[in-house]
Structure 1
Amino acid sequence: MTAGFAVLAAAVATMTPAALWNPQSWWQSIAVWFVIAIIAHDLIAFPVYAVADRALQRGTRVRSRQRSATVNYLRIPSMAATLTFLVFLPGIIEQGGPAYQAATGHTQEPFLTRWLWLTATFFTLSAITFGLRTTRTPR
């Protein structure tokens, strides 16, 4: 937490507080988007994935001590897929296509397909790892 607050203080000191607020169009301000992100995570996303995780744990037919380890083989690729989706969302929904094409000479068309392949790879590697773990673990 201390390191996080130190990075925040350094960012605010570098950008100056005035840079965080856009008086011409307030909704484009970094401060407004930061508050929206906090609210969206804490009031919407967290309850959704907490309920999904609870349902996943209840649906797993393993002893309670091994349940958490087993569920992690779905949690980790799910989190990785969600994080890469959020990072590459503008490319996936082809937002800013003309600017991207002018800068790179490429279109944003393959972003969704590549994200889907990456997600499939995450889950495949997790399934292989889970399979190796269950075949090597004595019962």
Structure 2
Amino acid sequence: MGGPYDLRRPVMRVPVRRPALGSPLQLLLLACSFALAGYAGVRLLADDWFGVALWLVGAAVLHDLVLVPLYAGADRALARVLGAAGHRDWTGYVRVPALLSGLLLLVWFPLISGQVADRYRSATALSGDGFLSRWLLVTAALFGGSAVLLVLRSLRLLRLRRARKQRPSAVH
């Protein structure tokens, strides 16, 4: 009596929740984005479907087998170094500009490396030179801005600590 299979015990009913679908506007926007993605996929695969498929598979393999271990290892090393220095909370100030700089490098690598400068010039009538220096300037600006934000945050925390020390202790 009273065991887990006692038929006299009341059965607890778990309410079945219906999935949150969102508003009709969200559903319409989602349907439109799927339609646009489908149209782009059909247009992209119409000419050289094998080349596109090969590029997608190659990019996925390169990302998963080469890039993920590289940036995971770099992030782990950064966290370990900053953690040993007692500033593990600074990792975000290095991660964000490094991520944005890496993304820019990934997108613009053919032009940054100068591999397609002639093709770029023939297609746009613009010089393909200067992409490396611009990427380096953007990277420096990203890390410089991040350093400024870190200094401002540190100064704010320092002011808060000083204000806390100057307050008289509360009477209990």
Q: Same fold (TM over 0.5)?
A: yes
Instruction: Give the percent of matched residue pairs that are identical in Structure 1 and Structure 2.
Output: 37
Answer whether contact 2:101 2:139 (CA < 8 A) is retained. yes
> TM-score, normalised on structure 1?
0.78
C-alpha change, 1:132 and 1:17, in structure 2 (3 Å) is same
Answer whether contact 2:104 2:135 (CA < 8 A) is retained. yes
Q: List per-residue Cα deviations over 1:63-122 (Å, max 9, x = no partner).
A: 7xxx3x420000000001101111111111223323322333332111101111110000
Which of residues 94, 98, 102 in structure 1 aligns to 2:118?
98
> Counterpart of 1:52 in structure 2: which amino acid?
A
Which of residues 86, 92, 104 in structure 2 aligns to 1:62?
86
1:31 has 2:31 as partner: no
RMSD: 2.2
The 1-side partners of 2:138 and 2:81 are apart by 26
The 2-side partners of 1:35 and 1:110 are apart by 31
> Counterpart of 2:69 in structure 1: which amino acid?
P
The 1-side partners of 2:79 and 2:106 are apart by 25
The 2-side partners of 1:108 and 1:16 are apart by 26
Point out the structure with the larger helix share.
1
The 1-side partners of 2:154 and 2:63 are apart by 35
The 2-side partners of 1:16 and 1:110 are apart by 30
1:53 has 2:78 as partner: no
If asked which structure has higher relative contact order (CA below 8 Å, sep 6+), I would say 1
Instruction: Give the match for residue 87 of structure 1.
Output: 107
Quote the offset at 1:21 in angstroms: 2.1
The 2-side partners of 1:85 and 1:31 are apart by 23
> TM-score, normalised on structure 2?
0.64
How many residue pairs are counted as aligned between the two chains? 125
Answer whether contact 2:118 2:128 (CA < 8 A) is retained. no
Quote the offset at 1:20 in angstroms: 4.7
**Bigger radius of gyration:** 2
> Where do 5+ consecutive residues of structure 1 fail to align?
23-28
The 1-side partners of 2:44 and 2:116 are apart by 27
Instruction: Give the match for residue 94 of structure 2.
Output: 74
